[in-house]
Amino acid sequence: MSRRRPQLTPWKAAGTRSEDSRDADEVVRQTGWVFNNETGSKLSLAQFVATGDLEVRRYLKRWKLKDTASTLSILEIGSGIGRMTAAFSREFASVVATDVDAAFLERCRETVARFGRPSHLRTAHIADGHTIPVSDASVDVVFSYITLQHCSAADALKLTKEAFRVVKPGGRVILNYRRKVWLDALLLPAGVVVRTLFAAPQVGERLSRWRWSTRLGWQANRVSPAEVFEFLMSHGVTVNDPHLFHHRSRALPRTSVAGIEVPQHNLDVAAKSHWWLTAHRG
Ligand SMILES: C[S@@+](CC[C@H](N)C(=O)[O-])C[C@H]1O[C@@H](n2cnc3c(N)ncnc32)[C@H](O)[C@@H]1O
Protein backbone atom coordinates (compact mmCIF):
# COMPACT_ATOMS: atom_id res chain seq x y z
CA MET A 1 0.00 0.00 0.00
CA SER A 2 2.74 2.47 0.86
CA ARG A 3 4.17 2.43 -2.64
CA ARG A 4 0.86 3.42 -4.15
CA ARG A 5 0.08 5.87 -1.33
CA PRO A 6 3.45 7.54 -0.69
CA GLN A 7 1.98 10.18 1.66
CA LEU A 8 1.23 7.37 4.14
CA THR A 9 4.80 6.04 4.14
CA PRO A 10 6.48 8.34 6.70
CA TRP A 11 3.69 7.61 9.18
CA LYS A 12 3.89 3.89 8.68
CA ALA A 13 7.68 4.00 9.06
CA ALA A 14 7.30 5.95 12.35
CA GLY A 15 4.59 3.49 13.42
CA THR A 16 6.90 0.57 12.80
CA ARG A 17 9.59 2.25 14.92
CA SER A 18 7.09 2.76 17.72
CA GLU A 19 6.20 -0.94 17.47
CA ASP A 20 9.85 -1.96 17.75
CA SER A 21 10.54 0.18 20.82
CA ARG A 22 10.97 -1.46 24.23
CA ASP A 23 8.46 0.67 26.11
CA ALA A 24 6.29 3.75 25.77
CA ASP A 25 8.92 6.11 27.22
CA GLU A 26 11.34 4.97 24.54
CA VAL A 27 8.62 5.47 21.92
CA VAL A 28 8.26 9.08 23.08
CA ARG A 29 12.01 9.67 22.86
CA GLN A 30 12.19 8.10 19.41
CA THR A 31 8.97 9.23 17.76
CA GLY A 32 7.32 11.70 20.15
CA TRP A 33 8.71 14.62 18.17
CA VAL A 34 6.61 13.39 15.26
CA PHE A 35 3.59 14.58 17.25
CA ASN A 36 4.58 17.57 19.37
CA ASN A 37 7.95 18.63 18.00
CA GLU A 38 9.68 18.14 21.36
CA THR A 39 12.98 16.31 21.48
CA GLY A 40 15.28 15.21 24.27
CA SER A 41 16.90 12.07 25.59
CA LYS A 42 15.05 12.35 28.92
CA LEU A 43 11.51 12.81 27.61
CA SER A 44 8.87 10.55 29.10
CA LEU A 45 5.38 9.43 28.18
CA ALA A 46 4.10 11.41 31.18
CA GLN A 47 5.55 14.67 29.82
CA PHE A 48 4.26 13.87 26.36
CA VAL A 49 0.72 13.30 27.64
CA ALA A 50 0.93 16.49 29.71
CA THR A 51 1.32 18.49 26.47
CA GLY A 52 -1.86 16.86 25.17
CA ASP A 53 -3.71 17.51 28.46
CA LEU A 54 -2.87 21.19 28.18
CA GLU A 55 -4.12 21.43 24.61
CA VAL A 56 -7.31 19.48 25.30
CA ARG A 57 -8.09 21.83 28.21
CA ARG A 58 -7.56 24.86 25.97
CA TYR A 59 -9.69 23.59 23.13
CA LEU A 60 -12.57 22.35 25.28
CA LYS A 61 -12.69 25.74 26.92
CA ARG A 62 -12.48 27.63 23.63
CA TRP A 63 -15.25 25.59 22.06
CA LYS A 64 -17.36 25.48 25.21
CA LEU A 65 -17.34 21.72 25.55
CA LYS A 66 -15.84 21.50 29.03
CA ASP A 67 -19.15 21.29 30.90
CA THR A 68 -20.92 18.87 28.56
CA ALA A 69 -18.02 16.60 27.56
CA SER A 70 -18.74 13.99 30.24
CA THR A 71 -22.08 13.23 28.55
CA LEU A 72 -20.68 13.10 24.98
CA SER A 73 -18.79 10.74 22.70
CA ILE A 74 -15.84 11.98 20.63
CA LEU A 75 -13.96 10.54 17.65
CA GLU A 76 -10.39 11.69 17.07
CA ILE A 77 -9.01 11.50 13.52
CA GLY A 78 -5.25 10.89 13.68
CA SER A 79 -4.76 10.08 17.37
CA GLY A 80 -1.17 8.93 16.94
CA ILE A 81 0.11 7.31 20.13
CA GLY A 82 -2.54 9.04 22.23
CA ARG A 83 -1.00 12.38 23.23
CA MET A 84 -4.45 14.00 23.42
CA THR A 85 -6.50 10.80 23.57
CA ALA A 86 -5.65 10.20 27.22
CA ALA A 87 -7.26 13.54 28.16
CA PHE A 88 -10.23 12.91 25.85
CA SER A 89 -10.84 9.57 27.58
CA ARG A 90 -10.92 11.35 30.95
CA GLU A 91 -13.15 14.20 29.81
CA PHE A 92 -15.63 12.44 27.49
CA ALA A 93 -18.06 9.59 28.09
CA SER A 94 -16.33 7.68 25.29
CA VAL A 95 -13.61 8.20 22.69
CA VAL A 96 -12.89 6.49 19.37
CA ALA A 97 -9.22 6.93 18.46
CA THR A 98 -8.53 6.49 14.75
CA ASP A 99 -5.30 6.52 12.79
CA VAL A 100 -3.83 5.31 9.51
CA ASP A 101 -1.19 3.37 11.43
CA ALA A 102 -2.29 0.35 13.46
CA ALA A 103 0.91 0.31 15.57
CA PHE A 104 0.19 3.87 16.72
CA LEU A 105 -3.28 2.75 17.80
CA GLU A 106 -1.74 -0.07 19.81
CA ARG A 107 0.53 2.45 21.55
CA CYS A 108 -2.45 4.76 21.99
CA ARG A 109 -4.22 2.02 23.97
CA GLU A 110 -1.14 1.76 26.21
CA THR A 111 -1.02 5.53 26.71
CA VAL A 112 -4.69 5.65 27.66
CA ALA A 113 -4.24 2.64 29.97
CA ARG A 114 -1.55 4.56 31.88
CA PHE A 115 -2.89 8.10 31.78
CA GLY A 116 -6.54 7.95 30.81
CA ARG A 117 -9.63 5.84 31.21
CA PRO A 118 -9.18 2.73 29.10
CA SER A 119 -12.81 1.68 29.60
CA HIS A 120 -13.81 4.82 27.65
CA LEU A 121 -11.58 4.00 24.66
CA ARG A 122 -12.19 2.21 21.37
CA THR A 123 -9.84 2.31 18.40
CA ALA A 124 -10.62 2.14 14.67
CA HIS A 125 -8.01 1.74 11.93
CA ILE A 126 -8.31 4.06 8.89
CA ALA A 127 -6.62 1.44 6.74
CA ASP A 128 -7.01 3.19 3.37
CA GLY A 129 -6.19 6.69 4.65
CA HIS A 130 -9.67 8.08 4.07
CA THR A 131 -12.47 5.82 5.32
CA ILE A 132 -13.41 5.92 9.01
CA PRO A 133 -14.66 2.43 9.89
CA VAL A 134 -17.52 3.46 12.18
CA SER A 135 -21.24 3.76 11.54
CA ASP A 136 -23.07 6.84 10.30
CA ALA A 137 -24.29 9.28 12.93
CA SER A 138 -22.58 7.46 15.81
CA VAL A 139 -20.62 10.13 17.74
CA ASP A 140 -21.37 13.56 19.19
CA VAL A 141 -18.07 15.25 18.33
CA VAL A 142 -15.38 14.66 15.70
CA PHE A 143 -12.00 16.26 16.38
CA SER A 144 -8.76 16.31 14.43
CA TYR A 145 -5.50 18.10 15.12
CA ILE A 146 -2.34 18.32 12.96
CA THR A 147 -3.45 15.39 10.84
CA LEU A 148 -5.43 16.59 7.81
CA GLN A 149 -2.40 18.54 6.59
CA HIS A 150 -0.41 15.33 6.46
CA CYS A 151 -2.69 13.39 4.12
CA SER A 152 -3.01 13.88 0.40
CA ALA A 153 -5.46 16.70 -0.35
CA ALA A 154 -7.93 14.09 -1.64
CA ASP A 155 -7.73 12.13 1.63
CA ALA A 156 -8.04 15.31 3.73
CA LEU A 157 -11.24 16.24 1.89
CA LYS A 158 -12.65 12.70 2.11
CA LEU A 159 -11.86 12.52 5.83
CA THR A 160 -13.67 15.84 6.26
CA LYS A 161 -16.72 14.38 4.54
CA GLU A 162 -16.38 11.27 6.72
CA ALA A 163 -16.37 13.48 9.81
CA PHE A 164 -19.80 14.79 8.81
CA ARG A 165 -21.00 11.24 8.09
CA VAL A 166 -20.03 9.75 11.45
CA VAL A 167 -21.18 12.68 13.59
CA LYS A 168 -24.79 12.65 14.76
CA PRO A 169 -27.23 15.19 13.29
CA GLY A 170 -26.64 18.36 15.30
CA GLY A 171 -23.26 17.01 16.46
CA ARG A 172 -20.07 19.04 16.31
CA VAL A 173 -17.12 18.78 13.93
CA ILE A 174 -13.83 20.48 14.94
CA LEU A 175 -11.07 20.07 12.38
CA ASN A 176 -7.62 21.58 12.01
CA TYR A 177 -5.92 22.24 8.64
CA ARG A 178 -2.80 23.94 7.42
CA ARG A 179 -2.77 26.94 5.11
CA LYS A 180 -0.32 27.91 2.39
CA VAL A 181 2.77 29.83 3.48
CA TRP A 182 5.58 31.08 1.23
CA LEU A 183 7.95 28.36 2.46
CA ASP A 184 5.61 25.79 0.89
CA ALA A 185 7.17 26.58 -2.48
CA LEU A 186 10.20 24.68 -1.16
CA LEU A 187 8.62 22.34 1.39
CA LEU A 188 6.01 20.69 -0.79
CA PRO A 189 8.32 19.65 -3.68
CA ALA A 190 10.96 18.52 -1.15
CA GLY A 191 8.24 16.45 0.55
CA VAL A 192 7.50 14.66 -2.73
CA VAL A 193 11.19 13.75 -3.15
CA VAL A 194 11.55 12.56 0.46
CA ARG A 195 8.38 10.44 0.28
CA THR A 196 9.73 8.77 -2.86
CA LEU A 197 12.96 7.97 -0.99
CA PHE A 198 10.95 6.65 1.99
CA ALA A 199 9.53 3.98 -0.29
CA ALA A 200 13.00 2.65 -1.17
CA PRO A 201 14.03 -0.51 0.71
CA GLN A 202 16.29 0.27 3.73
CA VAL A 203 16.46 3.98 2.87
CA GLY A 204 12.96 4.57 4.27
CA GLU A 205 13.78 2.88 7.57
CA ARG A 206 16.86 5.09 7.92
CA LEU A 207 15.02 8.28 6.97
CA SER A 208 12.34 7.60 9.57
CA ARG A 209 14.98 7.99 12.34
CA TRP A 210 15.67 11.59 11.53
CA ARG A 211 13.56 14.55 12.31
CA TRP A 212 14.44 16.59 9.20
CA SER A 213 13.50 13.85 6.75
CA THR A 214 10.31 12.85 8.55
CA ARG A 215 9.22 16.47 8.83
CA LEU A 216 9.80 17.00 5.13
CA GLY A 217 8.15 13.71 4.23
CA TRP A 218 4.91 14.47 5.98
CA GLN A 219 4.35 17.86 4.30
CA ALA A 220 1.52 16.71 2.11
CA ASN A 221 -1.20 19.27 1.42
CA ARG A 222 -2.67 22.68 2.11
CA VAL A 223 -6.41 23.03 1.60
CA SER A 224 -8.33 26.28 1.89
CA PRO A 225 -11.71 26.79 3.58
CA ALA A 226 -13.23 27.44 0.13
CA GLU A 227 -11.98 24.06 -1.15
CA VAL A 228 -13.35 22.28 1.91
CA PHE A 229 -16.81 23.87 1.67
CA GLU A 230 -16.95 23.34 -2.10
CA PHE A 231 -16.15 19.64 -1.65
CA LEU A 232 -18.73 19.20 1.10
CA MET A 233 -21.45 21.01 -0.88
CA SER A 234 -20.69 19.03 -4.03
CA HIS A 235 -21.23 15.81 -2.01
CA GLY A 236 -24.52 16.98 -0.54
CA VAL A 237 -23.19 17.51 3.00
CA THR A 238 -25.21 20.09 4.92
CA VAL A 239 -22.97 22.19 7.13
CA ASN A 240 -24.69 24.15 9.87
CA ASP A 241 -23.29 27.14 11.69
CA PRO A 242 -19.74 26.98 10.30
CA HIS A 243 -17.00 29.08 11.91
CA LEU A 244 -13.36 29.56 10.96
CA PHE A 245 -10.58 30.14 13.48
CA HIS A 246 -7.05 31.42 12.85
CA HIS A 247 -4.13 33.08 14.59
CA ARG A 248 -4.87 36.75 15.13
CA SER A 249 -2.20 37.87 12.67
CA ARG A 250 -3.49 35.66 9.81
CA ALA A 251 -7.09 36.27 8.77
CA LEU A 252 -8.35 33.85 6.15
CA PRO A 253 -9.77 34.86 2.75
CA ARG A 254 -13.47 35.68 3.00
CA THR A 255 -15.44 32.48 2.41
CA SER A 256 -19.16 32.01 1.91
CA VAL A 257 -21.43 29.01 2.24
CA ALA A 258 -24.80 29.19 0.48
CA GLY A 259 -24.28 32.94 0.01
CA ILE A 260 -23.58 33.62 3.70
CA GLU A 261 -20.11 34.68 4.78
CA VAL A 262 -18.55 32.28 7.28
CA PRO A 263 -17.61 34.14 10.50
CA GLN A 264 -13.92 34.19 11.39
CA HIS A 265 -12.46 34.33 14.89
CA ASN A 266 -9.06 34.78 16.46
CA LEU A 267 -7.66 31.76 18.18
CA ASP A 268 -4.53 32.96 19.89
CA VAL A 269 -3.24 29.49 20.65
CA ALA A 270 -3.46 28.52 16.97
CA ALA A 271 -0.21 28.14 15.07
CA LYS A 272 0.17 30.90 12.48
CA SER A 273 0.08 28.37 9.66
CA HIS A 274 -3.08 26.61 10.91
CA TRP A 275 -6.79 27.18 10.51
CA TRP A 276 -9.75 25.45 12.12
CA LEU A 277 -13.26 24.66 10.99
CA THR A 278 -16.01 24.13 13.53
CA ALA A 279 -19.53 23.30 12.38
CA HIS A 280 -22.57 21.21 13.17
CA ARG A 281 -24.00 18.50 11.00
CA GLY A 282 -27.20 19.64 9.37
C1 LIG B 1 1.36 14.98 13.75
S2 LIG B 1 0.51 13.50 14.19
C3 LIG B 1 -0.74 14.17 15.28
C4 LIG B 1 -1.27 13.18 16.28
C5 LIG B 1 -2.21 13.76 17.33
N6 LIG B 1 -3.35 14.40 16.72
C7 LIG B 1 -1.47 14.73 18.23
O8 LIG B 1 -1.77 15.93 18.18
O9 LIG B 1 -0.59 14.29 18.96
C10 LIG B 1 -0.44 13.07 12.76
C11 LIG B 1 -1.13 11.72 12.86
O12 LIG B 1 -1.96 11.57 11.71
C13 LIG B 1 -1.90 10.23 11.28
N14 LIG B 1 -2.29 10.23 9.85
C15 LIG B 1 -1.57 10.66 8.79
N16 LIG B 1 -2.29 10.47 7.66
C17 LIG B 1 -3.48 9.94 8.03
C18 LIG B 1 -4.66 9.52 7.32
N19 LIG B 1 -4.74 9.61 5.99
N20 LIG B 1 -5.69 9.01 8.03
C21 LIG B 1 -5.63 8.92 9.39
N22 LIG B 1 -4.53 9.28 10.11
C23 LIG B 1 -3.49 9.79 9.44
C24 LIG B 1 -0.46 9.84 11.53
O25 LIG B 1 -0.28 8.43 11.55
C26 LIG B 1 -0.20 10.52 12.86
O27 LIG B 1 -0.52 9.68 13.94
- State mean pLDDT over 257-282: 93
Q: CA–CA separation, 109 vs 81, rounded Å?
A: 8
- State mean pLDDT over 157-169: 98
pLDDT at residue 232 above 80? yes
- State mean pLDDT over 131-148: 97
Q: pLDDT tier at 28 (50, 70, 90 boundaries)?
A: confident
Ligand 1 and 218: CB distance under 6 A? no
Q: Can you name the residues that pair with 121 across neighbouring β-strands?
A: 95
Ligand 1 and 107: CB distance under 6 A? no
Ligand 1 and 101: CB distance under 6 A? yes
CA-closest residue to ligand 1 atom 26: 80
Query: Which phi and psi angles does 232 have, rounded to 5°?
Result: -65, -45
Instruction: Say what the pLDDT of residue 240 is.
Output: 96
CA-closest residue to ligand 1 atom 1: 35
The residue type of 70 is S
CATH fold group of domain 6-179+223-281: Rossmann fold (3.40.50)
The DSSP letter of residue 64 is: T
CA-closest residue to ligand 1 atom 27: 80
Ligand 1 and 191: CB distance under 6 A? no
Ligand 1 and 157: CB distance under 6 A? no
| CA nearest to 56, candidates 81, 31, 92 | 92
- pTM for the model stands at 0.91
**Which run of H or E residues covers position 88?**
helix 85-91
Q: pLDDT tier at 3 (50, 70, 90 boundaries)?
A: very low
Query: Which phi and psi angles does 208 have, rounded to 5°?
Result: -70, -10
- State mean pLDDT over 214-222: 77
Q: Where are the domains of the chain?
A: 6-179+223-281
Give me the chain's average pLDDT, please.
90
Query: Which phi and psi angles does 63 have, rounded to 5°?
Result: -105, 20
Q: CA–CA separation, 80 vs 236, rounded Å?
A: 30
Given a contact cutoff of 8 angstroms between Cβ atoms, the answer to whether 75 and 139 are in contact is: yes
Q: pLDDT tier at 7 (50, 70, 90 boundaries)?
A: low
Instruction: Say what the pLDDT of residue 1 is.
Output: 41
- Rounded to whole angstroms, what are the CA distances from 232 to 164, 223, 237, 265, 275? 9, 13, 5, 21, 17
User: How wide is the angle at C-alpha 93 spanned by C-alphas 124 and 51, nearest 5°?
Assistant: 75
Q: Which residue has the higher pLDDT, 183 or 46?
A: 46
Instruction: Say what the pLDDT of residue 2 is.
Output: 41
pLDDT in tens, 48-92: 999 999 999 999 999 999 999 999 999 999 999 999 999 999 999
Q: pLDDT tier at 6 (50, 70, 90 boundaries)?
A: low
